[in-house]
Structure 1
Amino acid sequence: MVKQPREVKLSYSEFLSHENKKLKNHLEEVKFNSLSLIQKLDISKKENLKKLIEVVSVSHDFGKFSDYFQEKVRKNSSEERYERHGLISSLFGLFLTEKFEFKDVDKGFVNAVVFNSIKHHHGDLENLEKTIKYETESKESSFKDARKIFENIKKHKTKVNRIYNLLLETEGIDYLKEFESYLGKINDRKRDNKIIIPDLIRFTEFNDDVFYFYLFNLVYSILLESDKKSASEVEKTKEDYSHPTEMLKYYKERFDQTNEFNKVRETIYQETIENLDMALKESNKRFFEIDAPTGSGKTLTLLGNSLKLRNHLRESENKNPSIIYALPYISIIEQNYKVFKKVLETRYNKIGNDKLLEHHHLSNEIFTKSRDEELSYDKSSFLIENWYSDIVVTTFFQVFKSVFTNKNHLLKKYNKLTNSIILIDEIQAIPPSLITPIRDCFKILTEKFDSYIILATATQPKLNQSNERKEKRLDSIKLFSSRDSSSLSNKKINKFFNRYKIKTNLINEKTNLDELYDLIKQDSNFDNLMVVLNTIDSTKDLFSKFNDENDFEDFEKIYLSTNIPPRERLERIEKAKDYIDNDKKFVLVTTQLIEAGVDISVDKIYRDLAPLDNLVQTAGRTNRNNEKDFSDVHVLNLVDEENKDYPFSKYIYDKILLEKTRKFLKKKNKFSERELVEEYLSNYFEEVVDDKAQGVKTTTSGNEIDLNQEIKNLNYRTIENHFKLIEDDLPEVSIFVLDDGNSKELWEKYTDIFNRDIESFEEYLDRREEFSKIKKEFNRQIVTLKVKSREELVDFKSKMGVESGCEVDKLECNGVICLDTESDFYNEQTGVQFDEGKKDIFQI
């Protein structure tokens, strides 16, 4: 028997949306916040967007007018299935769309975005829902439940109608009477046990316009941010600062201005600024590319161009867009964030998060203002996760998973990608199969949503297929390209950006680890050497040979892989740089984590086979500052003797990419930097885009998923499952490495935090806030590894004697394993290991 709620006598001003928040005020704030977010957005059909946002804003919490919810918010017991407000609110939203006229917008889309965004504003999106269950025994809300909730809301008819006449600026409309009639019409659409939502099936069958996906994201994102802003009592809006490009000039004064290479970097910078200035005068294009070699100063060039562009928009259009700078790896983000901060410090005494924000899963969770004000955890979380900063330095994951996901907490900042300046550094790190969806995203953001995008890399991939239809193409303005530079002569480019030769005579032969070691031993023409291999196993085996043999006694040995905690990895990279500065000999054995953005320059490199763009990125770690005429980069085909000479490269990389790389490398035994980048790489990318960038992915079961079609059909869960920046479905294990007194103290704090029983949502938030204070340092001790199989992971835990629990003497807490460096499962030089004499269970 269903328990009836205790009838509460309420005046209209006393309906609550949250514990200390009046529902009327909340709906007004969400409407105001939502419309404010699009105020400066210059897009077509803006009136339609305003109407959509108004509908979802005022209707998203309609179900909270029920006594069921009002008892819940006052912490009285009620019937759970009738406390839920998502479905009844989404139906009310559908009803309100009937009262607005949407010109030139598919009615099916209007219903899709209103119904699904409201229904899921407290959870993650599903694949587009086209029907409603009439009744159900499960916990899922049904149409019958929604009717019962509405019958309860009718008790407050006068009060609710008064509120909606105020919200929608109308007079005398009996919204509840009209809604009751609408529910009757919806009920007539019942087929079996399902209610068919009007126009949605037709929309998904005939829609071929990807724009609707991005418009859905925008409406949903604005609703989420505005709702959480009101609930969090955050009054702050993003502050706008004026950042003159002269800051770059002052920052560069610390460098040797007489150095020839620095002069070349400044020439490249000035050329990009001049080309940007010309483009803004002569073109309305918003998509730019900087094709600059490694070591040419792309970080400062990107910052300078973004500030120049923003100042132009500020003066000409009274706009002050945020700058969002995205990179693929956290190690590069931390490095480049420090550069940005030092530039800003030439103008400001204090750099708070309102001016500059570093955002990734390891970054600080407390938002500080430039006036030394530190905000509470709750408000900080809102401001950080919604990018309330002038300049944001973040990851590819945070940017692209603000678009291609079903996750509520990620999609809520999608609106920040509109009306912004977006800098994408090292775009080649994107998997080729995702190029087409990302190209479409760039096109929509720049052509429809008032954004500017600048791509910068030494290995710029092709975004358009060779036979791409004109309306699908995304064409750029080149701000710099070494092959057709207007300010650098061919002679100067050859001198400064033709720094290495890639030697490929070994790729047609199978080379095992012993043979690789012998090759290096016979090649004594270096003071420091980097060997980049594709798997953790191969790096550890080779590193042990350098340690066990006596051939390199005069050389320091450095090892890098994801088996080493991040703090220790950074220290080892700094150690290698120090050795270079002090002419100390060393050998560095590493996985490919070194290959992009790490500012290190060695004498010579040996590299296991990898896709061509990866090889070019690796090669950028030698002779980086033009220390000598040429460096050698040897590429070889390293094989696993214990697995029938299977190439290590095939454990990691796509076989089609490897085959195309072989095809180009077989043409010659030696390539200079310029000919490889300017001639062969462009042809390689053209073939890759034509073959791999269609947006079609093959699942582990062998089925093909067409991401482009799933995007058009608004199938958000499918998109989340198959849009992966890192392709693997292997289980993960997180290991906290206990290596000193500070790490021991961190582990004790962690176990203390997670040992407490949680009995309320407030206690849960308190736990999150307390962990946030140690999160950054704690995660610097975390090694997150992919495990080859779940069985191996169980075996690993068993051998360690892991017991789940949160006392300090236990080895596992909250899913994190604690591992002391004194343990048999940790090697001081090579990090986490399974056991001696057995191949590692960990993948890179």
Structure 2
Amino acid sequence: MIAHMRKSDLKIQTVQEHLESVASLAKEYGKKAGFAAMAELAGFLHDAGKNAKAFSTYIDNAVKETGEPLERIDHSTAGAKYLYERYYAESPKTQADMMSNLVIEMIGMVILSHHSGLQNFMQPDGSQSDFFRRVCREDLPYYEEVCTEFLSIRGNEERVEELYQASVKEMQSFSTHLRQLLQNYPNRSKDEKTSPFIFNSLAMKYIFSCLIDADRTDSRRFDEGDTSDLHESNQDFFEESYGHVMEQVRKWESDLDASKPINKLRTEMSEQCDKTAEFPSFIYQLSIPTGGGKTYASLRYALKHAKLKEKDRIIYVVPFTTILEQNADAVREIINNKNKVLEHHANVIDDVASEDEPDYYRQEAQKKMQLARDNWDHPIIFTTMVQFLDTFYAKGTRKARRLHNLTNAVIVFDEVQSAPIKHLPLFNSAVNFLHHFGGSSIILCTATQPSLTKTAYPLLMDGSKEIVKELPDVVKAFERVSIESKVENEGWTAEQICDFTMEEMEDKESVLIILNTKKAVLNAYQQLKEIPGYTVYHLSTSMCPQHRKDILEEVRKKLKLPNEKVICVSTQLIEAGVDISFECVIRSLAGLDSIAQAAGRCNRHGEHEKGKVYIIRAKDEELSRLPEIELGQKVTEEDVLSRGELAEDLLSPAAIQTYFDFYLKKAEREIKMTDKNLDVGLIELLDRSRKYLDVIPRDHPKTFMSSMYKTLESHFEVIEAPTTAILVPYGEGKELINNLNEDIRDYDKLNDYLKKAQQYSVNVYRHTLQALASEGLIVSLYNDSIYALKDSGYHDEYGLEMKGEGGLSQLLF
């Protein structure tokens, strides 16, 4: 029977060949988390439904384009149905029966979902489970022929039995480990929940990932005639790269400035990371203060730990694309290797494609470019929090494919406090699974550690796993600013902000103003730029990254010149990952973590004895659509600034801890944590939700698995209002627009264009995209897969705008 036929030479891959190859690959992927047999069994049965003459005829007609009618055949149910009929106990009475049923449910769901994405074991309306609906189907076409053909091959029946028995043992081992884990981390309060059902759900998603990657990989390799080694070790690369890091460390230690207290402290923290790398994998906190060199220190840990503990890869997860690109470039430079570092973030061509990929994804150039991003089979990866969470919870099969490559890894979460508050239970659960079952070492890296162990569905970690020793003393030693609150109930107008800035500029040469909204930034900027004698700059996300980089580079040059009076007005985009230093910072009231980040842009390198940071309240900020910023303001004001001992030292670990303790508790009450179309949190769709159990009719059979992945994925968005990237006509962006308007078949050229396009794109919300289109300011490029802005839609000073006449009233904010 035919599984695949290669179009180039009509060579056939039989169903048996495909099943054996996928099973072998899935086993390799699955063993990292202790699910080798379950993944192998899923692989061995996933396409058993192709064992029918009708399917072979379908493949033959489709590939040869005979013109015969094509009969679509359900080939993904048969393997799950076979397992169910052979092993499932309809009335389980013993613990062994229950464990067996759990195995069949998990593997069966993985098999029947491998072309669609995971389905539901329970339904929101109480209707029949997707699992029972599929495996109990009596009219499944060709099912008897499929079973007869599959079992006629010598050894298949015995192999299924052997893998089934091994799978039950794996599930027993997993359940024992899980029970011990939950006993070690008992619920500390009624608000802190841990549930075995969530871990079962994530284990199933892991096995699903193993099958998806194995199936797609084997299909691709057959189609391309690829027989190369799939399991190349990265250990030599990690050792070589660690050597490059240590060469750089020795250069720093011999530098003339090495003896300065601040540099000695940086070196000491870097050495602590190096020493920690020798210990077993844990969930660690790395609370290096802003300016303490956390990128290099974390890399030193990651490379040494990956080398010593034979980890497969190192993954950096960052909140913003700007940080991603900057840190990836820094790592490439220090390890002296450009090809081993993969950047994966939202592309100009959005890789959230449907499972039935459009033509441009089928092109050879796109397939090659997409492969590394699909499975993350790379030694060092930089990606975003959006991509990380999508791996576990996004719709379909493409992003799930890479999940198994997050196990046996070193994962560094940079600026972990930026994890979306609404999805902390999902984030914590994913990290718990990756560490406690996937063997990954986790580094939570930030100057402002959130209280992730004190939330609903908490992070299961030992609270003493802080890499930086004597943290309060370290923070004090890095103190380069004093912070003063000038928060008033009424708030300051743009004119008052301008007046205060002028007062500060009387004895200072530079001031950075950070406000919470683009509108407030624009208002203050317009006030300040009218005053002669000052160089004033504007920064916001209405400008493409290259535009912002150009402005920042100009600002840096101006800051170095004597007798220059420099003012920069920016949104919070300047707070993270931007190496720039002002004499004074004025920050509109926000969360304490944002204020700490803003303080990191003041006197950053100790140029002055002490920099000055002022906290104000800007009057013209509308925050009703920014609930997390609004709550951050409230907690900072009510729970930190109001406490005298904390207000006097806002950057202390005690102040940060207090802020996050209150913020996370209040967020659960004041920010809508459930989806707008559901009245339960998304995490409960992976738990054994009482709400949905209660609506199942008594005469309907119930599964042991309770996850509702299909429902979760249909509602899951890391960013509630998703954005679309638009290529803009700024600088080289104009040439890129022209180039991408042509038919491109050269892979290297296309890859180069798309990488560059990241720097010349602006992300807009759906309603903004529609407004731009209605104004006739949008054109489509490259098979209608890329949007570009016409010249009249971009302003050299402000960025994106609606009208081409420079009409500020039409700016999009």
Aligning the two structures, in what range does the TM-score lie when normalised by the shorter sequence? 0.7 to 0.9
Give 1:795 deviation, angstroms. 4.7
Aligned to 1:124: 117
Does the 8 Å contact 1:287/1:454 carry over to 2?
Answer: yes
> Which of 261, 277, 302 matches 1:306?
302
Confirm or deny that 1:227 pairs with 2:208.
no
From 330, 349, 352, give the equivalent of 2:339.
352
Higher relative contact order (CA 8 A, sep 6+): 2
Alignment of 1:796-815 (within 5 A): 796-798=772-774, 800-802=775-777, 813-814=784-785
Alignment partner of 1:648 is 2:622: yes
- How far apart are residue 357 of structure 1 and its match? 2.1
1:108-123 equivalences in 2 (<5 Å): 108-123=101-116
Measure, in 2, the Cα distance between the counterparts of 1:658 and 1:343.
Answer: 39
Match of 1:547 among 521, 526, 529: 529
Separation in 2, partners of 1:544, 1:803? 28
Q: CA deviation at 1:238?
A: 3.7
The alpha carbon displacement at 1:453 in A equals: 0.8
Within 2, Cα distance between the matches of 1:560 and 1:669?
34
Structure 1 match to 2:247? 250
Q: Secondary structure of 1:676's match?
A: coil
Cα distance in 2 for residues equivalent to 1:89 and 1:104: 20
Counterpart residue identity of residue 23, structure 1: V
- Structure 1 Cα separation of the partners of residues 456 and 676 of structure 2: 30
Aligned mates of 2:588, 2:73 — CA distance in 1: 59
- 1:207, distance to aligned residue in structure 2 (A): 8.1
- Partner SS for 1:232: helix
How many Å apart are 1:382 and its aligned residue?
2.4
1:831 aligns with 2:810: no
Where does 1:280-291 land on structure 2 (aligned, <5 Å)?
Answer: 280=279, 286-291=282-287
**Structure 1 residue 705 displacement after superposition:** 2.3
* CA deviation map 1:272-328 (0-9, x unaligned): 333554xx2xxx661111111100010011011122322332xxxxx3332112111
Q: Taking structure 1 as reference, are residues 460 and 481 closer, same or farther at Cα in structure 2, changes over 3 Å only?
A: farther
- What residue number does 1:212 align with? 200
Alignment of 1:755-766 (within 5 A): none
- 8 A contact 2:429–2:457 mirrored in 1: no
SS at match of 2:728: strand
CA distance in 2, matches of 1:92, 1:770: 48
Please list the CA deviations of residues 407-429 of structure 1 after superposition, one character each: whole Å capped at 9, or x if unmatched.
31111111111111111111000
Shift of residue 841, structure 1, vs aligned partner: 6.5
Q: Give the AA of the match of 2:21.
A: E
1:747-758 correspondence to structure 2 within 5 Å: 747-753=737-743
User: Is 2:494 aligned against 1:516?
Assistant: no
- For the structure 1 residues 399 and 627, does the alpha-carbon distance in structure 2 shift closer, same or farther, using more than 3 Å as the test? same
1:680 matches 2:671: no
Contact 1:595-1:621 within 8 A present in 2 as well: yes
Maintained 8 Å contact 1:753/1:771 = no
- Give the Cα separation in 2 of the matches to 1:110 and 1:438: 25
Given the superposition, is the C-alpha separation of residues 672 and 682 from structure 1 closer, same or farther in structure 2, using an over 3 Å criterion? same
Asked if structure 1 preserves the Cα contact closer than 8 Å seen for 2:47 and 2:79, the reply is: yes
Matches of 1:520 and 1:413 in 2, distance apart? 49
Q: SS of the residue aligned with 2:197?
A: coil
**What is the identity, as a one-letter code, of the residue corresponding to 1:358?**
E
- The 1:437–1:769 alpha-carbon spacing in structure 2 relative to 1, beyond 3 Å, is same
**What residue in structure 1 maps to residue 586 of structure 2?**
606
Q: Within the alignment, does 1:819 sit opposite 2:790 as a pair?
A: yes
Change (3 A) 1:132 1:237: farther
* Aligned-pair CA distance for 1:463: 1.2
C-alpha distance in 1, partners of 2:550/2:158? 59
CA gap 1:610/1:107 in 2 versus in 1, 3 angstroms? farther
Kept in 2, the 8 Å contact 1:517–1:545? The answer is yes
**Residues 166 and 365 of structure 1: is their aligned pair in 2 closer, same or farther, counting only changes over 3 Å?**
farther
Q: Which residue of 2 aligns with 1:737?
A: 728
Partner residue in 1 for 2:234? 240
CA shift digits 1:70-98 (9 cap, x unpaired): 23322145665642322334323434655
1:293 aligned partner: 289
Give the residue type in structure 2 aligned to 1:361. Answer: A
Alignment match, 1:181: none
* Alignment partners' CA distance in 1, 2:366 and 2:666: 47
Q: Assess if the C-alpha contact under 8 Å between 1:535 and 1:648 holds in 2.
A: yes
* Distance of 1:106 and 1:171 partners within structure 2: 15
1:533 equivalent to 2:515? Answer yes
Residue 663 of structure 2 corresponds to residue 663 of structure 1: no
The equivalent of 1:457 in structure 2 is 446
Query: Can you list the C-alpha shifts for 1:108-132, whole angstroms capped at 9, x where unaligned?
Result: 5333322332222123334446777
Q: Tell me the TM-score normalised to structure 2 length.
A: 0.79
**TM-score using structure 1 length:** 0.76
Task: Measure the CA separation in 2 of the matches of 1:639 and 1:577.
Answer: 29
Counterpart of 1:503 in structure 2: which amino acid? E
Match of 2:390 among 401, 420, 424: 401
State how many pairs are aligned: 717
Counterparts in 2 of 1:682 and 1:621: CA distance versus 1, 3 Å = same
Instruction: Check if 1:784 corresponds to 2:777.
Output: no
2:53 is the alignment partner of 1:67: yes
Aligned positions of 1:354-753 closer than 5 A? 356-362=341-347, 378-465=367-454, 475-483=463-471, 494=476, 496-524=477-505, 525-550=507-532, 553=533, 555-583=534-562, 584-640=564-620, 647-654=621-628, 655-667=630-642, 675-692=650-667, 697-699=672-674, 701=676, 704-712=679-687, 713-720=706-713, 723-726=716-719, 728-729=720-721, 732=723, 734-740=725-731, 742-753=732-743
When structure 1 is superposed on structure 2, of 658-667 and 511-520 the one drifting more is: 658-667
Decide whether aligned partners of structure 1 residues 840 and 504 sit closer, same or farther in structure 2, where only a CA change above 3 A counts: farther
CA distance in 2: counterparts of 1:662 and 1:564, whole angstroms: 31
Residue 335 of structure 1 is matched in structure 2 by 326
Q: Does 1:50 align with 2:36?
A: yes
**Structure 1 residues 257-281: Cα deviation after superposition (integer angstroms, max 9, x where no partner):** 534132221022123333554xx2x
The separation in 2 between residues aligned to 1:432 and 1:582, in whole angstroms, is 42
**CA spacing shift, 1:34–1:467, aligned 2, 3 Å:** closer
Q: Mark the CA change 1:682 to 1:658 in structure 2 (over 3 Å): closer, same or farther.
A: same
User: 2:779, 2:789 within 8 Å by CA — same for their partners in 1?
Assistant: no
1:268 match: 269
Whether contact under 8 Å (1:405, 1:717) holds in the other structure is no
Q: Deviations over 1:191-226 (max 9, x none)?
A: xxxxxxxxxxxxxxx985321022111100000110
The alignment partner of 2:573 has SS state of helix
Percent identity over the alignment? 21
Contact 2:197/2:686 (CA < 8 Å) preserved in 1?
Answer: no
Match of 2:317 in 1: 326
Checking the alignment, whether the CA contact within 8 Å between 1:698 and 1:704 is kept in structure 2 is: no
Alpha-carbon distance between aligned partners in 2 of 1:838 and 1:689, rounded to the nearest angstrom: 38
CA gap of 1:106–1:695, structure 2 versus 1, over 3 A, is: farther
Aligned partners of 1:263 and 1:207: how far apart in 2?
Answer: 45
Query: 1:448 and 1:616, CA in 2 relative to 1: closer, same or farther beyond 3 A?
Result: same
**C-alpha contact (below 8 Å) 1:268/1:480 kept by paired residues:** yes
* 8 A contact 1:557–1:588 mirrored in 2: yes
- Which runs of 5 or more residues in structure 1 are unaligned? 1-11, 135-139, 173-205, 314-318, 367-374, 641-646, 755-765
